[in-house]
Amino acid sequence: MTNHWVDFKNTDVALICGSNAAENHPVSFSWLQEARDKRGAKIISVDPRFTRTSARADLYCPIRSGTNLAFYGGMINYILANDRYHNEYIAHYSNAASIIKEGFSFDPETGLFTGYDEGRRAYTDRTTWDYERDAEGKVRKDLTLQHPRSVFQLMKRHYSRYTVEAVAQTCGAPVDKLRQVYELFTSTGQVGKAGSIMYAMGQTQFTSGSQNVRCMAIIQTLLGNMGLPGGGVNALRGHSNVQGSTDMALLFHLLPGYMPCPTTGMPTLEAYNATTPPAPAYWSNRPKWIASLLKAWYGEAANPGNDFAYDFLPKAQAGKNYSHLALFENLYNHQDLEGLFVWGQNPVVSGPNSNMESKAVENLKWLVCLDPFENETSAFWKRPGANPAEIDTEVFLLPVTTFLEKEGTVTHSGRLIQYRWKAVDGPGNVRQESFILDRLVKRLKALYAGSDQPQDAMIKHLTWNYPDPLRSQTDFIDAVMREINGRNLSTGKLVPGFGALQEDGSTDCGNWIYSGMYTEELGNRTQSRVLDDPGGWGAHPGWGFAWPANRRIIYNRCSADPDGKPWSEERKYLWWDGARWTGYDVPDFAPTMPPDAPLGKKPFIMMAERESRVFAIGALNDGPLPEHYEPVESPTHNVFNRRQNNPAYFTGTDGAKSLGDVEKFPLICSTWRVCEHWHTGALSRNMPWLAELMPESFVEIGEDLARERNIGNGEMVELVSARGKARAMAMVTPRAHMFEINGRNVHQVGLTWHFGFQGLVTGDIANNLTPHVGDANTAIPEFKAFLVDIRKVTS
Amino acid sequence: MSRMARLIDITRCTACRGCQVSCKRWNQLAGEIGAFTGSYQSHDDLSPGRWTMIKFYEEKKPGGEMAWHFRKATCMHCADAGCLKACPNEALVREENGTIRRIEENCIGCGHCVQFCPFDIPKVDEVAQKMKKCTFCYDRISNGREPACAKTCVPRAIVYGTWDEMAALADERLAQAQKLYPDSRIYGRDELGGLGVIYILPDTPAKYGLPEDPSLPFTLGLWKDVVHPFGKGLIGASLAATGLAFIISRRNAMKLKESAKLEEGGYDDEQQKNG
C-alpha cells in the first residue's frame, strides 16, 4: 500500500475492485465504517458477484471476471473527457506534460504499440516509448498539456475508445451503474477530497495483471489522490506477512529491498551497478545498498578487492524465467530439479493446473515440507488417483509452529513492521522455522568447510554467527534484526537509517528498506507501542516501524501544492514551513529542500524524472499505456482492438497446450476466498471452529444457469475445464450473475479454492481447473478468469 | 451493577463470523461440522453447543437490486423473560446485570423454557438433559470484561455497555444506518420490557426472522402463578412419582407442540392468547 490500514478512515470514497475486503480483510471495514460515520464516506464495490463487501457498499456494479482493464480504461476516459483530473497536480507531479518521441503509436487494428516482434511475442524495440529531449538532454514538456504528443493528449486519444457504452458491453455492466461508479469515484479529483482504491488478487492474477495495477496508479495520479491521507493505491495483501516476504525477496527476480536479482548478463558488481537508475532517482544509491547487503551476508570475505564477493551470488540465466509457472513446468518435463523445500506453501492446492503440478512433484527425488499439518503437498503421493507404489519421491515432513507459537516480526500491507511475541509453546517437538533454518545452514557449512571449489564459497563464507535459537529465540531474532537494520562496521553501532549506508564496505545491511527499524537511540522500533496520533490522521508514528524511514504515507510531498502549501486546510498533512518540511508524517522528501529548488516540486523520488509515470517509459513488457486484452480463455472477442490476448503474456512451455474455447466451455469462471478459510485451508480446515463454518467446497451459480441446467441449490455439481475437473456443492443465488457481453448472454460462476483432500473438511482442488498461463511482466498465474462447463452430478 | 446490554447493528455486520468462533472458544464448545446448507450460513439453527450464529438473509429488491443481511442470533436476555417465567425448577435467574443466568444443577432439561421463548433460543441437550443457551458471558462481564462476541467484532457491529448507554447509542446508530438503509429501525428497546440485545435492523423484523411484536402467552402467567407452586412443592418432595409424571407429561406435550409448530410453519402467540 502507498497508504495504510488506519488511513481508510480518512477517505471520502473507497473503490473496492478486485477485492472482497469485508470477507478477506475484515479489519479494513472497521476503518471504512469510521470514514462513513465521521466523513460520510461512500464505499463502491465492483465485483463479478454480489459479495459480503457489496452487501455493505453504497454502490455495487457487477463486471465480468477479466475485464478490469476495460473498466479502468473507461474510468480514465471519463476523467479526461469530463475534466475530472486535478490539472495543477498532474502538470507538476506526473509526466502528463512530457512530450513523447515522434514515431510512437498504438494501432487499434493490430492492438499493438510500436516495437513489437511477432515472432518473439515481445516488444523488442521500445525506443519510441520515451521522452523527446532537447539539445541538453532535458525532457521536453508542455505544461499547458496541449501538445499533440504530450502524454496527456496521447492518453486522451488512446482512451477515447473506452466510452461508457463500449466498456459496459465488454464488462457486462449496467451502463447506469458504471456511470454512477465513474461519477462518484472521480468526484475525489476535487481539491480537499480523497479517494482510495483497495485491491487484491482480483486485479493481479490475470495475464494483464500488472497493467491493471498501472491503471490504478494512473487514475490516482490524474485525480491527485496519491500522497494524501485517504488516497493511494492500496494492495490488501493475502497474508499477514506477505508484504514482509516480498520485502525480503521471496521472489524469483529480486534481492532484498526490491533490488534486481543478478543475471548472467551482469557478471561483475560493476556490471550490476551499471543497471542502477540514474540520479536524481533515489534508486541511484543502489550501489551502497548492494555493497552493504553483501557485507551482511559475507562479512570479512566481502571486500572492495573482490567486488564484495559479488561472485558468490547465484546468477539467473539472462532471459530465463524462474517463476512458479516455469519452475513447475521444468519439474513436469524432468528438467533441472531434483529436490524441493516447501515451507509456508501448499502448491498442490494453490498452484494453477493442479493436476499437472501434482504430477510434476512426482518427478522429485526428495521433498521437504515444513508445515503445522500434513497438507496436500506433503501428501501428494496419496492424492486421489495417484498410485503410491509408482512414486519414488522421498518425503520429509517437519512439523513447525503456527503464528501463535513463535515470535518475530510480521510486515503488513501498510508496510508496518510489528514485533509479535509468542502466545503459547507449540505442542510436542514442533519447531520454529528459524531453528530448522539455523541447523540446516550449520550442517551445510560443515559439509562445505573443507572445500576449495569456487562454487562452494557462497556457503563456506556465509556469515552465520547468531546466538543459538534453541537456547533463545529472542536473542537469535534480535541478532538477525540488527543485521537487517545495518551497522557501521568501524564503530559496531547500528546505523540510524539507509541514508548512512556506504558503498565502500564500511557498513552492512540485510535490507536497506528496513534500515532504521532498530537504532542505537530508539532500540527495536518494531516493538514500540506508542499510540500518539499527531494531527489525528491515524499515522501513529510511534507504533511499530513503517518502511521506508517510518513513513506512513509514501509520496506525501504530494499532499502539498507545488509551492509547499497544503492543497486544502481539510487535508493538511505535510507542508513547507519556510525552513523545512513539517507535518504529521516523516517527509518522503529531502526535509530541507525548499519548493523553489530545482527538484523541490518533484515528489516521486524513486524515479529519474521524479514524477508519477502515467506513461511508463520503457518499463513494462506489454506496453507503456494499459490496453484491454481479453483473458486467455474468454467467451468473447476484444472490441477495443483487434488483438484478442495480451501480446506478451507468459505461456511457458506447456500453458498453451491445455486451453479451452467457449464452444466447449461456455461459462466464465473465477476462484475466490471466504473469510472462514485461510489460503489452501491447511490451517483452517484442520480447525473445527472454522471448518464447521464452511464445511464444503461450493460454487456460486446464478438462478438462470441453475434453471437451464436443472441444478438445485445444495446439489453436487462438477465443473470441467480444458485442464481438469472439480466437484463442489451448488449454491444457487441471485448474487451470481448472467452477463450480457457484446450482445450475448454469458453466465459467470466461481468457486472457493480453499479445499483439498487433507484435513477435517475436504473437497476437490479448484485449481484443477485453472490455466497454466501468466502475466506478461510477473508471470503470476491467471487464476481469476477462465472457461468451464458445469454438470449436475447424478452418479 | 447496572443492567448491561449489547447493541447489535446489523447494518454494520460483515458476517465474518468472528463472534461465532469467539463464543465457542471462550465457552470451549466443540466444532460441529455439518453438511453444506446451500447458503453461507453454517447450520440451520442454534444448538445446545452453538449459542450464537450469524443467520444470512438474501433478498432480491424490486428493480433487480440485491440486499444481503446478516443477523447474529443469540439470547436476548429479555426484561420480561418467558424462559424464566416458564422454568419449573428455578434453573433460571435474573442477575442484577441483566443476565438471564442458568443454574446448571437446577436445570432438568424439561424444555419448558423452549416453548415460551418468542425467539426460539434455548436448546435442550437431550443426552445431558440440560437446556443450553448464551450466558451473556456472565463469567466475563461480572469480572469487568466485555462478552467474547463484542470483543472480537471488527466492524463494531456488536457493542457492549449499560442498557441505558446502548439504548441511547441506538438512536445515534439509527441515524447513521438510515443514510444507507432508509427503512432501518430499532428493535428490542421497547419489546418485552426492553431486551438485553438491542438491534439496529435495516428493514422489518420479519425479514430477519424476528417476531414483529414479541409477547408472552397469557397461559404462561397462569402457569407461573397457579400451577407452578404446586409443581415446585412436588419437586421439593424428592420428585415423588406424581411429580415426575407431571414433568414428563409436560415435556411430551411440549414435544407434540413442537412438531405441530414445524408443520404449521411457526407459532402464533395471538392464537394462543385467543385460544
Note the pLDDT tens digit of each residue in B2-13.
Answer: 999 999 999 999
Inter-chain residue contact B68 with A52, CB threshold 8 Å: yes
Domain that holds residue A761: 655-792
Distance, in Å, from the CA atom of B13 to the CA atom of B11, rounded to the nearest integer, reads: 6
Classify B166 as helix, strand or coil: helix
Bridge partner residues of A398 (DSSP): A370
CA distances from residue A398 to A153, A344, A435, A474, A477 in whole angstroms, order as listed:
59, 12, 12, 22, 21
Question: What does the pLDDT read at residue A139?
Answer: 97
Inter-chain residue contact A50 with B39, CB threshold 8 Å: no
Residue that is written with C-alpha cell 424439561 in the block: B110
Question: With contact defined as beta carbons under 8 Å apart, do A14 and A8 qualify?
Answer: yes
Q: What are phi and psi for residue A781, nearest 5 degrees?
A: -65, 155
Q: Quick one: closest CA in B to A174, which residue? A: B64
In a domain, A703, yes or no: yes
Question: With contact defined as beta carbons under 8 Å apart, do A657 and A771 qualify?
Answer: no
Grid cell in block for residue A195: 479517494
Classify A176 as helix, strand or coil: helix
Distance, in Å, from the CA atom of A20 to the CA atom of B209, rounded to the nearest integer, reads: 27
Q: What percent of chain B has pLDDT over 90?
A: 77
Preferred mutation among B9, B43, B66, B156 to probe A, highest tally of A CBs within 10 A: B66
Inter-chain residue contact B176 with A37, CB threshold 8 Å: yes
Inter-chain residue contact A694 with B30, CB threshold 8 Å: no
Asked if residue B225 has pLDDT above 90, the reply is no
> Cβ-count burial of A174 within 10 angstroms (0-12 exposed, 13-18 middle, 19+ buried)?
middle
- Grade residue B41 by pLDDT with cuts at 50, 70 and 90: very high
In a domain, A252, yes or no: no
Q: Quick one: closest CA in B to A687, which residue? A: B31
Question: With contact defined as beta carbons under 8 Å apart, do B227 and B233 qualify?
Answer: no
Residue-averaged pLDDT of chain B: 86
Contacting residues of B for A37, CB less than 8 Å apart: 176
User: Considering CB atoms only, which of A22, A54, A760 is closest to B33?
Assistant: A760
Inter-chain residue contact A696 with B66, CB threshold 8 Å: no
In a domain, A680, yes or no: yes
- Lowest-confidence pick of A521-530, B151-160, B200-209, B228-237: B228-237
Tell me how far the alpha carbon of residue B6 is from its chain's centroid: 12
Task: Establish whether this prediction's ipTM goes over 0.85.
Answer: yes
Question: What does the pLDDT read at residue A618?
Answer: 81
The enclosing H or E element of A184 equals helix A175-186
Inter-chain residue contact A689 with B58, CB threshold 8 Å: no
Question: What does the pLDDT read at residue B221?
Answer: 65
Inter-chain residue contact A713 with B35, CB threshold 8 Å: no
- A405 Cβ contact partners less than 8 Å away, ≥ 6 residues apart: A422, A423, A424, A425, A426, A430, A432
Average pLDDT, integer, range B135-163: 97
Inter-chain residue contact B30 with A688, CB threshold 8 Å: yes
Classify A395 as helix, strand or coil: strand
Average pLDDT, integer, range B6-33: 97
In a domain, A710, yes or no: yes
Looking up residue A711, the CATH number of its domain turns out to be 2.40.40.20
The C-alpha of A740 sits at a distance from chain B's nearest C-alpha, in angstroms, of 15
Inter-chain residue contact B58 with A26, CB threshold 8 Å: no
Q: Residue ranges of chain A with pLDDT lower than 70?
A: none
Inter-chain residue contact B176 with A52, CB threshold 8 Å: no
Inter-chain residue contact B36 with A53, CB threshold 8 Å: no
- Biggest CA-to-CA distance, chain B: 66
Domain extents in chain B: 1-29+45-214
Nearest to B105 by CA among B121, B86, B92, B96: B92
- Lowest-confidence pick of A334-338, B95-99, B230-234, B259-263: B259-263
Grid cell in block for residue A592: 530541507
Question: With contact defined as beta carbons under 8 Å apart, do A550 and A541 qualify?
Answer: yes
Average pLDDT, integer, range B203-218: 93
Inter-chain residue contact A692 with B33, CB threshold 8 Å: yes
What total of structural domains would you count in chain A? 1
Give the number of A-B residue pairs with CB atoms closer than 8 Å: 103
Asked if residue B228 has pLDDT above 60, the reply is no
In a domain, A642, yes or no: no
Inter-chain residue contact A732 with B39, CB threshold 8 Å: no
Question: With contact defined as beta carbons under 8 Å apart, do A634 and A646 qualify?
Answer: no
pLDDT tens-place string over residues A739-760: 999 999 999 999 999 999 999 9
Look up residue A543 and give its amino acid: W
- Angle in degrees, 0-180, between the axes of helices A175-186 and A164-171, rounded to the nearest 10: 120
- A87 Cβ contact partners less than 8 Å away, ≥ 6 residues apart: A145
The C-alpha of A99 sits at a distance from chain B's nearest C-alpha, in angstroms, of 46
The C-alpha of B137 sits at a distance from chain A's nearest C-alpha, in angstroms, of 18
Any idea what the Cα angle at residue B51 is, between residues B48 and B56, rounded to 5°? 115
Contacting residues of B for A692, CB less than 8 Å apart: 31-34, 42-43
Q: Is the peptide bond prior to A280 cis by the omega test (within 30 degrees of 0)?
A: yes
Yes or no: domain B1-29+45-214 corresponds to CATH 3.30.70.20:
yes
The C-alpha of B81 sits at a distance from chain A's nearest C-alpha, in angstroms, of 30
Distance, in Å, from the CA atom of A487 to the CA atom of B10, rounded to the nearest integer, reads: 53
In a domain, A533, yes or no: no
Contacting residues of B for A696, CB less than 8 Å apart: 35-36
- Biggest CA-to-CA distance, chain A: 78
Asked if residue B214 has pLDDT above 80, the reply is yes
The C-alpha of B21 sits at a distance from chain A's nearest C-alpha, in angstroms, of 6
Question: What does the pLDDT read at residue B272?
Answer: 41
The enclosing H or E element of A708 equals helix A703-709
pLDDT tens-place string over residues B121-131: 999 999 999 99
Classify A619 as helix, strand or coil: coil
Contacting residues of B for A688, CB less than 8 Å apart: 30-31, 33
What DSSP line would sit under A539-592, residue for residue?
A: --TTBSEETTTT-SSTTGGGGB-TTSSBS-STT--EEE-SSSEEESS--SS-TT
The C-alpha of A694 sits at a distance from chain B's nearest C-alpha, in angstroms, of 6
Asked if residue B138 has pLDDT above 70, the reply is yes
